[in-house]
Structure 1
Amino acid sequence: MTTALRTLTLTLTLALAGLPVAAVAEAIHTPAPDFTLASREGGNVRLEDHRGEVVMVNFWASWCGPCRQEMPLMNALYHKYRDLGFTILAVNVDEDRAAAQRFLDAVPVDYPILYDPDSTVSERYEVQAMPTTVMVDRDGNARYVHYGYQPGYEDAYEQQIRELVRE
């Protein structure tokens, strides 16, 4: 399926589901909004500092059941592709950082966890569902967006990671 046909299919699907089509159209081949957020490890992490890498920006919350399913699968992708210039920036949107930590105690992951308690970054990315995942290419352009998670999405993630690390 061509990129144009994939975009049209995704746009129509989202429109029929009542989701904002503009967010998808803007997410494909447009600059990803830069941000700086506090990290679990201490200090701040800035998206722009990862220019030259493929970055999966994943918005999640402690109350999100699909996030609980998705995050271990993302951790496997992180370990498989990180040596090829891939990373994940997982942006937690909980107001209470302790809730996020309890979640991470139950679902441990090794990739960077960032905190957006006032949802400033998630609003800039027009996050409409939990989780929302945006694939950012080495040039800092948002290339793919995924709303929600269902088993099998990780296959699409992996295909997109492989495509973007080869560019």
Structure 2
Amino acid sequence: MRMQFPAVILVSLALILLSGCSADYGTDQHGQKVPATRVEGQWLIVNYWADWCPPCRKEIPELNLLAEQLKNQGVSVFAVNYDGLQGEDLQKAIREFDFTFTVLTEDPAARLQLPRSGGLPVTFIIDPQGRLREQLMGEQTAAGLAARLKTLQQEP
């Protein structure tokens, strides 16, 4: 009995630590954790952008609008800087682009099993089960993304 108690504690601690490793999507542009519980069971729209990309600049206001329209509807909209900008460089670009939705400071591609795109902008739509349902190349509109999402939500 004496040997089992420490083993149970060690296993419990290991499980807590392991679950903590996958419990979030990193931090957002405000330094706040983006917990997995915030997005579990939701549709995800993940957009990759770069400050040198003219179509990305045009697309961000549309994504701001989309995120506002889909608020509280089981959909999370995220942006990820394609070049991996961090710190003040990322903050400067966020201010310049006027993002009003969540910008992830860490790339979730590995976690979401997203392919690396050779072009920008690129937007991925992931279903609540974590399956990649769509990879959209080029500039998107709020209306176009909302329509595509609605179609995907109606498919089995």
The amino acid that maps onto 1:41 is H
Question: Which residue of the partner structure matches residue 17 of structure 1?
Answer: none
Name which of 120, 127, 151 aligns with 1:163.
151
Q: Given that residues 134 and 144 in structure 1 are in contact (C-alpha distance below 8 angstroms), is that contact kept between their aligned partners in structure 2?
A: yes
Q: Given that residues 25 and 108 in structure 2 are in contact (C-alpha distance below 8 angstroms), is that contact kept between their aligned partners in structure 1?
A: no
Question: Which residue of the partner structure matches residue 110 of structure 1?
Answer: 100
**Structure 1: 5+ residue runs without aligned partners?**
1-34
Name which of 36, 40, 44 aligns with 2:29.
40
CA distance in 2, matches of 1:82, 1:111: 10
Name which of 59, 62, 74 aligns with 2:48.
59
The amino acid that maps onto 1:42 is G
The share of aligned pairs that are identical, in percent, is 24
CA distance in 1, matches of 2:150, 2:91: 31
Change (3 A) 1:95 1:135: closer
List aligned pairs for 1:2-13, cutoff 5 A: none
Question: Which residue of the partner structure matches residue 123 of structure 2?
Answer: 133
Deviation at residue 115 of structure 1 after TM alignment: 2.1
Change (3 A) 1:128 1:120: farther
Aligned length: 130
CA distance in 1, matches of 2:76, 2:58: 19
Deviation at residue 76 of structure 1 after TM alignment: 0.5
Q: What CA deviation, in whole Å up to 9, does each residue of 1:24-67 have, x standing for no partner?
A: xxxxxxxxxxx833321214436675121111011111221111
The amino acid that maps onto 1:58 is N
Q: Which has the larger radius of gyration?
A: 2
The amino acid that maps onto 2:61 is P
**Structure 2: 5+ residue runs without aligned partners?**
1-23
Question: Which residue of the partner structure matches residue 142 of structure 1?
Answer: 132
User: Does 2:81 correspond to 1:92?
Assistant: yes
